[in-house]
Structure 1
C-alpha cells in the first residue's frame, strides 16, 4: 500500500513527532550550589539528580573585592577601613566651607519649618480651628480638617525637632565678628 501525503500534512506530522523529543528537558544535576546538565563524573563530585518540575537558576552578582558589609565591619578583629588617598582628602579650609554651607542650609530649612509650624498652630488653635462656611453646613468636613491639621502639625513638629538635632550635631558655628 502506498501512502501519498500532502506536503503541509507531512510537515505537520513530522513536527508533531519531533516535538516531544525537543521539549523533553535534559537531566538536571545539582552539585552543591551549582546546577548543570553536564555533570561529568557526577558520583565523584557528589551530584544528585534533580527531579520534578522545571528549574530556573539566575546567577547573582559577584561581590566586589573592596566592598565590606556592615556585619564584617562590626566583627571583632576585622581589618580597619583603608585610609583615604590623597586625592580623596579635603583641606581644612574647604572642609570648614562645606560645614558652613551645610549649617546655612539646615538653618534655612529650620526657619521655613518653624514658620510653617507657627502658621499651623495659629490655624489649629489648640484643637479648635475656626470653622469655614462650608464646614458649618457639614460638621464632618470640620472634623476632617481638624484631624488633617493635627497630623500636619505633628509632622512639622517632628521635622523641627530633627533639624534642631542635626544642627546640634554639627560643629559649632564660627564666631562672627
Structure 2
C-alpha cells in the first residue's frame, strides 16, 4: 500500500471514529436483554430493564427493503411469494413433482437397505481378511446393525411421507 493510500485510509478511519463519538455523545445507546438496542430510554428506565450503556462501539443499522412487483418475481425465478396464491394446476404439478422425488428416494433407500441386509446376513456377515482380531469383527457387525437400523427408519419415514401425499 502506498503512503498516500495509507494516509487516506487513516483519515477515513479517524473520520468514522470521530463521527461515531459525536453520535454517541448526543444520546447514549443501550443494549437491553434480547439483543435490543435503543437510545429512547432514560437512564433510570434502562437500569430498571437491565440495559447496559454501549460506549466506544459504533452501531450500524442496515434496513433491508423487500422487493416488490416484477423485480421480486425476477429475483425468485417467477415463484410466488409466501403471501400469494398459487393456481390449482400449478399446485398439482408441484405435488406430482414432490411425489415423484419421494418415490425415487424411497426406491434408492430400499435398494440400499436390501444391500445392507444381504451384507449383514442376519448378524453373521462374512469375515474380512483384516479381521483376525475378533473385536474388529464385532465392531464392524455393530456398525452394520446401526446402519441397518438407520436405513430402516429412513425407509419408514419416506413411506409415511408418501402416504400423506
TM-score (norm 1): 0.50
Question: 2 CA distance for matches of 1:52 and 1:95?
Answer: 52
Task: Report the 3-state secondary structure (helix = DSSP H, G, I; strand = E; otherwise coil) of the residue aligned with 1:89.
Answer: coil
Question: 1 CA distance for matches of 2:61 and 2:145?
Answer: 47
Asked whether the 8 Å contact 2:120–2:144 carries over to 1, the reply is yes
For residue 139 of structure 2, the aligned residue among 121, 144, 158 is 144
Largest Rg, 1 or 2: 1
Change beyond 3 A, Cα 1:89–1:52: closer
Task: Report the 3-state secondary structure (helix = DSSP H, G, I; strand = E; otherwise coil) of the residue aligned with 1:133.
Answer: coil
Displacement after TM superposition at 1:125 (Å): 2.3
Q: Tell me what 2:28 maps to.
A: 30
Aligned residues: 116
Poorly superposed stretches of 4+, deviation over 6 Å? none
Q: Tell me what 1:119 maps to.
A: 115
Q: Tell me what 1:56 maps to.
A: 57
Question: 1 CA distance for matches of 2:121 and 2:143?
Answer: 13
CA deviation profile, 1:116-153 (whole Å, cap 9, x unmatched)? 11111121123332211221x22232122112212211
TM-score (norm 2): 0.53
Gap regions ≥5 residues in structure 2: 1-20, 31-37, 45-51, 67-81
Question: 1 CA distance for matches of 2:54 and 2:93?
Answer: 63
Compare the two structures and name the one with the higher helix fraction: 2
RMSD over aligned Cα atoms: 3.8
Task: Report the 3-state secondary structure (helix = DSSP H, G, I; strand = E; otherwise coil) of the residue aligned with 2:125.
Answer: coil
Task: Report the 3-state secondary structure (helix = DSSP H, G, I; strand = E; otherwise coil) of the residue aligned with 1:96.
Answer: helix
Question: 2 CA distance for matches of 1:130 and 1:163?
Answer: 30
Change beyond 3 A, Cα 1:59–1:151: farther
Question: 2 CA distance for matches of 1:52 and 1:97?
Answer: 55
The answer to whether residue 163 in structure 2 is matched with residue 168 in structure 1 is yes
